[in-house]
Amino acid sequence: MTVLEVIGLRKLFPIRKGLLRRVIGQVRAVDGVSFHIEKGETLSLVGESGCGKTTVSRCIVRALQPSAGAIRFRVGDGGAVDIAQMPKRALKPFRRHMQLIFQDPFSSLNPRMMIGDIIGEPLLVNGMTDKSKRRERVEALLELVQIPGAYLNRFPHACSGGQRQRIGIARALALNPSLIVADEPVSALDVSVQAQIVNLMLELQDRLGLSYLFIAHDLSVVKHVSDRVAVMYVGKIVEVAATGDLYARPRHPYTEALLSAVPKPDPRLRAQRIILQGEVADPAHPPSGCYFHPRCRYAVERCRVETPELAEVAPGQWARCHRAAELTLKGVG
Amino acid sequence: MAETPILAVQGLKTYYHQDEGVVRAVDGASFALRAGRTLGIVGESGCGKSVSARSILRIVERPGRIEAGSIVLQRAGGAVDLARLDAEGREMRAIRGAEIALIFQEPMTSLSAYYTVGNQIGEIIRLHKGVHKAAARKRAIELLAMVGIPRPERRVDEYPFQLSGGLRQRVMIAMALAAEPRILIADEPTTALDVTTQAQILDLLRGLQKQRGLAIILITHDMGVIAEMADDVVVMYLGRVIECGPVDAIFHAPKHPYTKALLRSIPSILARPRDKLATISGSIPHPYDRPTGCPYHPRCADFMPGRCDVAMPAMRAAGADREVSCFLYEEVGA
């Protein structure tokens, strides 16, 4: 069952200039992104800073209003509803079913609220006014994220980074959401704590049948959590496939370069890396044709003039590259 | 190691005296850097890796202080113990930048926003080399070209905010190399960068090392970066070096339980999809709440009651060029 289906999502930001703040151009932060997430599945959006992955997630939770496209979200066993242009008031019943986990566990918890109140707040806001009932639910949530019940009356400053991230997860789970949007949930944590949170997220998914949209730049972490991975470059998805397929045999030269650039934790594998030249293209002034062509080592004349479409290269593996079928790209593991 | 290390840190203790108590940021760390090689210092937050670097350069901020230990630098005129020099004195200032340079994690906060790139690099060149403005500018352009900045003659007049993160880190490296140091300390040089930019910067550091015989101390929390870059590795935990040795030995035959656990717990791009990670229980203790005995014992899988929580294990030789600080290896008598 499809929980979320995003079709042709676009988000443009105006560039203004001068005294009258006239619009002189547009940044296409998200430029026609489509994907779907099944129940109990993790889809990861990966890419470098500025590729639009966070903007996608913010559009889905409607922290931003999409410029175009559909966001079809299914609640329970009901039909899918397009929430892309829904007015704020009508959105409210849908919001509780999609929750966010943030990157920085230090700034995402109110330092003046006790843990119990932080986790209980979404319950209170959504009408659970009975105090003892709320406490019961908060205690159950703390147990779910493996935090001792005694923390109920503590403040966030008394907790370590890992504990804070667990509290953030408990708060997100308070209303039994079906979709969790996690934007870099472990990138601010120490390695030994990162592993605990990754495992916790995997366990909770199995237990509660959650769907995750996982936004990350770390391809190693992504491999540990994802069923499928979508790679973004300058506002567009350039490749999407099942995790194993994408890592073992990438079909887009950008995916290949990304995988190659990740340091492998084994000194015996010091291989020749693909060093991408130059920098990520400016989404306000993207290059002609394929946006990746100025940095692509396989680029031919066609790539300079013609924009490639996302096409299925192998079963379930889609790539936005003119040469996807003829190239044999190098993966890892 | 037969050769004399270019820089040898011995029993370094750097403490911060706060009202609430003493934070032992570095608590008896020893390691050695060989000429033209890369020493990787790896550890999680609070392990003392950055304070070690600051101690070497004598830029530990108050209320921090070097309490004990030596930092011996080999110079043309003989060895000198940096720990004994006046931090603000003439000799230390001649060493800082000219012999040992430092690059930081966040290039935006360590570059001045008010001066052009050329101005900032030029200042260092004029200070250390005593050349005129025009010559310094020319040299600054050469340095920018050397670190792979496109159109350096134009970039030299730009301000840091006009540059991307990767270019800023290149500018930092150019600045660090302006006075032609023999030792470069890189403190999380690529942590704030994207992975493709990280690959570019690591490649640049490797190239510069080959070209100029730089000795590099690379400080990072990222085991992948260590595996790619380091010749020798020092693993730190709560201010102590708990294991050191050649990179291959550390990754393929780790001895200390913490090193073993750390290596198992890192997410790897080589893992199977949706593979669970091995975890280390608990979290890093608060600096005011240091465990007694071995600092790692509350989280250790091989904890021996009555032993590890009572005394601190000493660093012992454990094979060729290797040392480990753990009671598991004391019985054997090494």
What are the tens digits of pLDDT across the range A267-324?
998 877 788 887 788 888 889 999 999 999 999 999 999 999 999 999 999 999 999 9
For residue B200, give the chain A residue with the closest CA.
Answer: A275
For residue B275, give the chain A residue with the closest CA.
Answer: A224
Q: In chain B, what residues touch A214 (CB-CB under 8 Å)? A: none
The per-residue pLDDT for range B39-98, each reduced to its tens digit, is 999 998 889 999 999 999 999 988 999 999 999 999 988 899 999 999 999 999 999 989
Chain B stretch 135-174, residues whose beta carbon is closer than 8 A to a beta carbon of chain A = 164-167
For residue A229, give the chain B residue with the closest CA.
Answer: B273
Size of interface A-B (CB pairs under 8 A): 157
B221 touches chain A (CB under 8 A): yes
Contact yes or no for A195 and B280 at CB 8 A: yes
Contact A290, A321 (CB under 8 A): yes
Cis peptide before B63 (omega within 30 of 0): yes
CA distance B54 to chain A (A): 21
Contact yes or no for A260 and B199 at CB 8 A: yes
By Cβ distance, the residue of B203, B224, B278 closest to A265 is B224
Q: Which residues contact B230 (CB under 8 A, 6 or more apart)?
A: A267, B38, B39, B40, B218, B247
In chain A, pLDDT over 90 holds for what percent of residues? 76
**CA-CA distance, A235 to A27, in Å (whole number)?**
10
pTM, whole model, 2 decimals? 0.89
By Cβ distance, the residue of A49, A191, A273 closest to B194 is A49
Q: Which residues contact B189 (CB under 8 A, 6 or more apart)?
A: B103, B104, B105, B169, B172, B173, B201, B205, B218, B220
Contact yes or no for A258 and B196 at CB 8 A: yes
What Rg value do the Cα atoms of chain A yield, rounded?
21
Mutate to test the interface with B, among A207, A255, A266 (most CBs of B within 10 A): A266
Q: In chain B, what residues touch A226 (CB-CB under 8 Å)? A: 273-274
By Cβ distance, the residue of B230, B265, B275 closest to A191 is B265
Mutate to test the interface with A, among B169, B283, B288 (most CBs of A within 10 A): B283
pLDDT of residue B331: 64
Instruction: Choose among B183, B185, B200: nearest CA to B148.
Output: B200
B294 touches chain A (CB under 8 A): no
Pairing of β B7-18 and β B21-33: antiparallel
pLDDT of residue A222: 95
Across the range A172-196, mean pLDDT stands at 91
Pairing of β A236-242 and β A228-233: antiparallel
Tell me: pLDDT of B1 over 70: no
Q: In chain A, what residues touch B248 (CB-CB under 8 Å)? A: 267-268
Contact yes or no for B269 and A247 at CB 8 A: yes
Q: In chain A, what residues touch B222 (CB-CB under 8 Å)? A: 263
pLDDT band at A185 (very low <50, low <70, confident <90, very high): very high
Averaged pLDDT score across all residues of chain A: 92
Contact A225, B272 (CB under 8 A): no
The per-residue pLDDT for range B109-154, each reduced to its tens digit, is 788 889 999 999 999 999 888 899 999 999 999 999 989 888 899 9
Query: Residue B46 is encoded by which pair of tokens?
Result: 């609070």
Tell me: pLDDT of B332 over 70: no
Across the range B31-43, mean pLDDT stands at 95
By Cβ distance, the residue of B251, B262, B271 closest to A192 is B262
Burial of A123 (0-12, 13-18, 19+ CB in 10 A): buried
For residue A276, give the chain B residue with the closest CA.
Answer: B196
Q: In chain A, what residues touch B268 (CB-CB under 8 Å)? A: 220, 223, 264-265
- Helix (H), strand (E) at residue A109: none
pLDDT band at A19 (very low <50, low <70, confident <90, very high): confident
Mutate to test the interface with B, among A48, A197, A214, A224 (most CBs of B within 10 A): A224
Residue A120's φ and ψ, nearest 5 degrees, are -80, -20
The per-residue pLDDT for range B148-193, each reduced to its tens digit, is 888 899 999 999 988 888 888 899 999 999 989 999 999 999 887 8
Q: Which residues contact B27 (CB under 8 A, 6 or more apart)?
A: B13, B15, B48, B238, B239, B240
Tell me: pLDDT of B334 over 60: no
User: Domain segments of chain B: what residues?
Assistant: 7-99+181-329, 109-180
Tell me: pLDDT of A333 over 80: no
- Using the structure block, give the residue that is written with the tokens 């291959």: B248
pLDDT of residue B76: 85
Tell me: pLDDT of B213 over 80: yes
- Helix (H), strand (E) at residue A16: strand A2-17
The per-residue pLDDT for range B243-294, each reduced to its tens digit, is 999 999 999 999 999 999 999 998 888 889 888 888 888 888 888 888 999 9
Mutate to test the interface with B, among A191, A258, A262 (most CBs of B within 10 A): A191
**CA-CA distance, B73 to B248, in Å (whole number)?**
26
**CA-CA distance, B243 to A191, in Å (whole number)?**
18
Q: Which CATH architecture has domain B7-99+181-329?
A: 3-Layer(aba) Sandwich (3.40)
Contact yes or no for A267 and B223 at CB 8 A: no
Contact yes or no for B280 and A224 at CB 8 A: no
The per-residue pLDDT for range A108-142, each reduced to its tens digit, is 999 999 999 999 999 999 988 999 999 999 999 99
What was the ipTM of the complex prediction? 0.85
Averaged pLDDT score across all residues of chain B: 90
A229-238 burial code (b ≥16 CB/10 A, e <16): bbbbbbbbbb
By Cβ distance, the residue of B195, B203, B251 closest to A262 is B195
The per-residue pLDDT for range B282-319, each reduced to its tens digit, is 888 888 888 999 999 999 999 999 999 999 999 999 88
Contact A207, A216 (CB under 8 A): no
CA distance B248 to chain A (A): 6
CA distances from A80 to A11, A75, A83, A209, A211 (A): 22, 7, 9, 18, 15
